[in-house]
Structure 1
């Protein structure tokens, strides 16, 4: 069980690194991205482990990566153009 959680934290950090590398202009600083990815993966591993019982290591790691990807996607800011106020709001 400990190895599942350590592996899921490592996968969450690897996913955070990949996200920062490919979407650096649309994500906040690494100080926010790395803990979010790791904690999302730990929560996903805990949730999947509790739902499936012990002995399903690949499924637990898949759940960890899935939840980590979802939490990292919540940090992505819109790219391209800046959001402006509408004429009615000004």
Structure 2
């Protein structure tokens, strides 16, 4: 059962990270970093969920859901802000407002 959890979570992390790398190409670092981070996040999520459930609650579904959630959190930490039109600041940096 443990082997299924490890293989399943690694495959789900790989699928999630490959999808993120394809959809959010401009907002993520290199594809290799994204793929490795997604798989490692899923493996850590599976371990964390398996440890949190404890002995006697070894359900494959819950472990895989935990793996996908942690992998999504790790991938969200890699996102950069979108490059769009920014509004110019009306005040200069470190300026104090005048009182009239």
Q: Does the alignment reach a TM-score above 0.5?
A: yes
CA RMSD of aligned residues (A): 2.0
Give every structure 1 segment of 4 or more consecutive aligned residues whose post-TM-superposition deviation is greater than 3 Å.
Answer: 81-86
Between Structure 1 and Structure 2, how many residues are aligned? Answer: 89
| Deviations 1:7-60, CA, capped at 9 Å, x for gaps | 101100000000011100100011110010000000000000111135210000
With structure 1 as the length reference, what TM-score do the two structures score? 0.88
Equivalent residue, structure 1, for 2:30: 29
**The one of 69, 73, 77 aligned to 1:74:** 77
Normalized per residue, the structure richer in helix is 1
Name which one, 1 or 2, has greater alpha-carbon Rg.
Answer: 2
Bigger drift between 45-54 and 9-18 goes to 45-54
Q: Structure 1: any 5+ residue segments left out of the alignment?
A: none
